[in-house]
A = this chain, B = another copy of it.
Amino acid sequence: MSFEGTGYRGRILRVDLSKNKITIQEFDKAFSRLYLGGNGFSIKIILDELNPLIDPFAPENILTFMTGPATGTVIPSTTKFHSASKSPLTGQYFDSMCGGTWARTIKLAGYDGVVIKGKAEEPKLLYISDGYVELKDAHSYWGNKITETQQSLKKDFGEPNLESIVIGPAGENLVRYACLISGLRASGRGGLGAVMGSKKLKAICVNGDGRITLANEDKARDYIRDLVKKLVDAAKALRMVGTPSVVSTVSKLGIWGTRNWREEYFEHWENLSGDALMKSFYTNKNTSCLACPISCGKHSRIVEGKFAGLEARGPEYENIYAFGSICGNSSMEYVIAAVNKCDELGLDTISTGVTIAFAMECFERGLINKEDTGGIELRFGNGEAMLEMIEKIAYRKGFGMILAEGSKRASQIIGKGAEYFAMHVKGLEIPAHSPRGIYSLALGYSTSTRGGSHHDHRPTAEYSIIDRKKIEGKPEWVIEVQHMTAVGDSLTICRFTERALGFALTEDYVKIVNLATGFNINLIELKTIGERIYNMERLFNVKCGLTRKDDILPKRLMIEPIPEGPSKGMHVTPEVLEMMKDKYYKLRGWDKNTGAPTIEKLKALSII
């Protein structure tokens, strides 16, 4: 086998649900050197095989599940799986990563990834056990929530270690921001769970017994020992407190989306901080992806009150934003309860929370009223209303039908100028990091393949080493980071390793790639891989109809400066954003009018 001694299996499982057909696609070293794995594999397949103009819920849509070359090897923090599709939320290429152990297991079963096409007539699940692959009836799981589904799958198959990716009721009901769940982790964003639901696929279950040995495991181990140490040091706060440690950072800077981004300083932030969580809710239980030294996952328990006894994963920083500051809710209990509900129903917490916050602002401004919401007082800070709406969204009931469409579409359905209050980029609700308070992020969100995502460009460096208020040099920086994330998602390496490996591509990334693949590439080639992948994503989106005009922030965030708090007055005006974009397109070799990659650029990157 040509991939012996590398992390690759050289095989992708192909499943056509319409035809009930399962095949294996083999790939070669040329393919893997151009596209690396994960995201690179996904975009290559989607760009080659998917008509960009189809409806995301059409059977023709493609849903990929990919691993990286290091997944399942001794190299740490690479056991995420990468999933991609044409998103029902953005109508464009969308990819999302998910931690846990599914990725490792599919590698052990002998595959680098799974590609799903078509649509089953009746609910199905995909069962993979090493060489054995079958589409099984899934009627008995359809309609079930996440934990119940996961548990009955393990029980019914009699395999306590069975790994699964499942969808909940939200995915079945095609909520446009339904997520995928694997173990305790989510592939949250972009509605990939709804795509899986549209295909009537409830779960992908995997057992794997194989083993992956790198050619030079000993050499790898030496490097890894150092790497682990570096990771542990660099990600100390993540290891101790988890992502909620960011709450105090952004609150002290006054750059935290509050009450639908009307504000950026939440006066009750201390109730929602990492410290508050540690003190009153932390169970002393951590979960990590397989063999990850960071171990960022924390667990909470509510001790008293209405939700007494509720145990849940997290909440993470983004969850606390989604059901805390952005909805004006200061109760950690309601945050935990809301997150738990989303996890059980299979909803992306960020899009859910931001969409509810949007509706709250519409309600407070009288664009909608209790007659529209079915009697719910949808006001900022109303935790009960939040919980009720989550349930209604997942089951498309009453006003939940409208919010299930996401904030962009919901704002169009509501009309009356509601679009101004929909906080999305390209249809994707924006996360907690502030594009007003971090200038590179204004350009980063705008030009992101995914839309309002903090995983194309990253804000992390600007919390520490980079001046967040400077415009100069930011187009260059955004491009560097976008190439890092494109490579990172192709390696399927956890983004939190950036603290040790670098916010842009470095020799450390090169080392990891070479250890896993044996390619012996250099930093220039790795950066080119990142650029190639980012341009392929862009090309697909242009074919979906994307133009320069879509590279834009929510209007409010461009014309209203931060109104109060430590960062009062900050924002990137439309003029400045357009200036940054001019520079950005020029550096990228993209047409400044259309925002499309030029033919020369595509040729230079071997895309066409």
Contacts and interface: CB of A to CB of B under 8 A. Distances in A.
In this complex, which of A54, A405, A412, A544 has the most chain B Cβ atoms within 10 angstroms of its Cβ?
A412
A427 to B, nearest CB: 11
Contacts of A544: 53
A120 to B, nearest CB: 15
A566 interface: no
Interface in A365-420: 371-372, 374, 396-398, 401-402, 404-405, 412-416
Given A372-B398, A398-B371, A53 B413 contact: no
Contact of A402 (B54, B397, B413, B545): B413
Contacts of A404: 413, 415
B413 A413 contact: yes
A51 interface: yes
Contact of A173 (B51, B173, B371, B415): B415
A414 B54 CA distance: 21
A174 interface: yes
A395 to B, nearest CB: 9
A404 B57 CA distance: 22
Contact of A53 (B371, B397, B415, B545): B545
A530 B597 CA distance: 38
Contacts of A53: 53, 544-545
A53 B371 CA distance: 36
A396 B371 contact: no
A401 B374 contact: no
Contacts of A58: 549
Contact of A413 (B51, B371, B374, B401): B401
A178 to B, nearest CB: 12
A283 interface: no
A248 interface: no
A288 interface: no
Contacts of A405: 413
A547 interface: yes
Contacts of A51: 545, 547
Interface residues of A, number: 26
Nearest to A367: B396
A270 to B, nearest CB: 39
Interface in A161-209: 173-174
Contacts of A414: 396, 401
A129 to B, nearest CB: 33
Interface in A408-437: 412-416
Interface in A228-275: none
Which among A58, A397, A544 has the greatest number of chain B C-beta atoms within 10 A? A397
A316 B471 CA distance: 63
Nearest to A544: B53
Contacts of A173: 415-416
A359 to B, nearest CB: 12
Nearest to A172: B415
A44 B322 CA distance: 48
Given A402-B402, A547-B51, A415 B372 contact: no
Contacts of A57: 412
A415 B398 contact: no
A545 B54 contact: yes
Contacts of A374: 371-372
Contacts of A402: 401-402, 413
A412 B406 CA distance: 13
A397 B413 contact: no
A51 B543 CA distance: 11
Nearest to A59: B549
Nearest to A396: B415
B398 A416 contact: no
A57 B549 CA distance: 14
In this complex, which of A374, A401, A416 has the most chain B Cβ atoms within 10 angstroms of its Cβ? A401
Contact of A372 (B174, B397, B413, B547): B397
A93 to B, nearest CB: 15
A415 B371 contact: no
B398 A413 contact: no
25 contacts: A53-B53, A53-B544, A53-B545, A54-B545, A57-B412, A173-B416, A174-B412, A174-B415, A371-B374, A371-B397, A371-B398, A372-B397, A372-B398, A372-B401, A396-B413, A396-B415, A396-B416, A401-B413, A401-B415, A402-B402, A402-B413, A404-B413, A404-B415, A405-B413, A413-B413
Given A371-B397, A372-B398, A401-B415, 18 more contacts: A51-B545, A53-B53, A53-B544, A57-B412, A173-B415, A173-B416, A174-B412, A372-B401, A396-B413, A396-B415, A396-B416, A401-B402, A402-B402, A402-B413, A404-B413, A404-B415, A405-B413, A413-B413
For the complex of A and B, 3 pairs with smallest distance between CB atoms: A53-B545, A396-B415, A401-B413
